[in-house]
């Protein structure tokens, strides 16, 4: 099976790694092309492009200019142990077993504005570049235009016809995949919480739930739709009543 998730803006380059294993991103040459474009931009231009503060603009100007190939364990760090947002808090990758890390390397993919498509152990350097950033690269209209065919083709190389495919990425990131060209259908879980008497998608909780579902899949060897319905981490339960779209599974609490 395959699972896709979003990256995170927050990064951790300090915590001790639980494994010495690593791999190299498939699209590192494309990442360099993007970085070469970003390096030409001043902090003020980055501030405008990314709608970030002066402090973050300075930080990312330094990151862009520190980007260095080849990647190695001295200048880079495995992606799953570097991204540090709500999704990754839910996943809790640092407590995965060696076998679970191996399974994640095979099944889990992380979408990225700079790196395109990452395996969990793929090395990354510090960056900030959301997929929705309106950045023109080599004639592409934006990052979606730059990455769509590359990412979709790579996923099609990896997946089998009609293989179980779980989309746990945000709309901003999953939109980069050409679903019409993908060799299988994506199942997109939705997480709703009761608030003021109504079921609503609450971003913070939904992000963490996506990570918890990845962990549930790895903990339980899930590889089909029916098994996925058993997800109960964090107090969520599958709702048949709310799941009225064949490509969505709705979990509520």
CB 85 within 8 A of CB 142: no
pTM of the predicted protein model: 0.97
Collect the ranges in the chain with pLDDT lower than 70.
none
Quick one: pLDDT at residue 33?
98
Quick one: pLDDT at residue 118?
98
Quick one: pLDDT at residue 132?
95
Quick one: pLDDT at residue 213?
98
Quick one: pLDDT at residue 201?
97
The most distant pair of C-alpha atoms in the chain lies apart, rounded to whole Å, by: 54
Q: Which two tokens stand for residue 23?
A: 């791999």
Quick one: pLDDT at residue 220?
98
Beta-ladder partners of 194 = 199
Quick one: pLDDT at residue 50?
97
Secondary structure of the chain in HEC code, one letter for each residue: CEEEECCCCCECCCCCCCCCCCECCCCHHHHHHHHHHHHCCCHHHHHHHHCCCHHHHHHHHHHHHHCCCCCCCCCCEEHHHCECCHHHHHHCHHHCCHHHHHHHHHHEEEEECCCEEECCCEEECCCCCCCCCCCCCCCCCCHHHHHHHHHHHHHHHHCCCCCCEEEECCHHHHCCCCCCCCCCCEEEEEEEEEECCEEECCHHHHHHHHHHHHHHHHHHCCCCHHHHCCCCHHHCEECCCCCCCCCEEEEEC
Q: Which two tokens stand for residue 161?
A: 């016809």
Quick one: pLDDT at residue 125?
98
**Helices 54-66 and 28-39: angle between axes, nearest 10 degrees:** 130
CB 40 within 8 A of CB 143: no
Quick one: pLDDT at residue 65?
98
Quick one: pLDDT at residue 18?
96
Quick one: pLDDT at residue 7?
98
Residues 216-238 pLDDT 10s: 999 999 999 999 999 999 999 99
């Amino acid at each position: 099976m395959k699972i896709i998730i979003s990256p995170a803006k927050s990064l951790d380059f300090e915590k001790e790694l639980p494994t010495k294993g690593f791999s190299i991103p498939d699209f590192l040459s494309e990442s360099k092309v993007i970085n070469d474009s970003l390096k030409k931009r001043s902090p003020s231009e980055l501030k405008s492009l990314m709608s970030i503060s002066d402090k973050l603009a300075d930080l990312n100007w330094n990151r862009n200019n520190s980007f260095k190939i080849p990647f190695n364990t001295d200048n880079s760090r495995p992606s799953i142990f570097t991204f540090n947002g709500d999704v990754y808090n839910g996943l809790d990758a640092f407590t995965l077993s060696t076998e679970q890390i191996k399974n994640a390397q095979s099944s889990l993919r992380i979408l990225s504005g700079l790196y395109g498509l990452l395996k969990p152990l793929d090395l990354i350097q510090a960056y900030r570049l959301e997929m929705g950033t309106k950045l023109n690269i080599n004639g592409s209209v934006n990052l979606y235009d730059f990455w769509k065919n590359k990412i979709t083709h790579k996923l099609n190389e990896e997946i089998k016809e009609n293989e179980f495919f779980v989309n746990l990425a945000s709309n901003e990131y999953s939109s980069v995949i050409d679903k019409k060209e993908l060799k299988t259908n994506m199942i997109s879980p939705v997480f709703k919480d009761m608030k003021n008497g109504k079921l609503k998608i609450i971003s913070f909780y939904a992000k963490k739930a996506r990570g918890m579902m990845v962990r549930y899949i790895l903990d339980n060897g899930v590889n089909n739709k029916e098994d996925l319905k058993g997800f109960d981490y964090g107090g969520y339960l599958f709702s048949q009543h709310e799941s009225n779209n064949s490509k969505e599974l709705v979990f509520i609490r």
